[in-house]
Every structure is written in structure tokens, then in C-alpha cells.
Amino acid sequence: MLQYLIDEHRNSKKRGLEDSTTIDHLLSLQKLEPEYYTDEIIKGLVLILILGGSESTAVTIEWAMALLLNHPDALNKVREEIDIHVGQGRLMEESDLSKLWVPSKCHL
């Protein structure tokens, strides 16, 4: 899967598509120092970034939920505001976040 991602970025450069992602930057470094930036090393770096990002996000959400559960007044304020602006008939979407004051202060 990661090799496919690297190949896609490499091919998009050949087609003249300009992106400025971490993979694009690593591929640029690969041209300068191929012995230090092999595809295997790039895959490892990308995997570390993916795992590191998802781990920290999961821990942050876990702590936010724990804090809300231990502070029922704050949890009720969040629930009330979501019910007012989103309702119970659908799931909350990213576009709803700008309408919500309390959850944004909880950094959820």
C-alpha cells in the first residue's frame, strides 16, 4: 500500500502535477541523496508519521471523553448545544463545528 502511494506521487510529478506533501519532499530528497532516501526508508518514515498521528489523536480523544464523563455539567452543555444546532436526526458533520461554541472550547 505504501509503495503504491509513493509510486502515485512519483508518477504525478512526471505528469507535471505539483503537490507539496511530505512524500513529495522525501522524493525530492531521494533525487539528491538516493542512498539515504530509498523507497524502503521513505515507506518507514511515512508509516511512523501515520502511526504517530493516529496514536496521539486517539489518546487526545480518550482524555477528552474521560474529562467530559468526569464533569457531567460540561458534558450536558455539549449535548444540549449539539442537540440545538445539529439535532438527533443525523450525525454531526464537519460543517456543523463552526456553529458550536461549547464543543470547540473543549477541543473535540
Written as tens digits, the pLDDT of the chain (108 aa) is: 889 888 888 888 776 666 688 899 999 999 999 999 999 999 999 999 888 877 888 888 899 899 999 999 989 988 999 999 999 999 999 888 888 877 656 654
Instruction: Name 100's Cβ contacts closer than 8 Å, sequence gap at least 6.
Output: 81, 82, 85, 86
C-alpha 33/C-alpha 64 separation (Å) is 43
Q: What is the pTM for the complete model shown?
A: 0.51
Q: Are the beta carbons of 97 and 103 closer than 8 angstroms?
A: yes
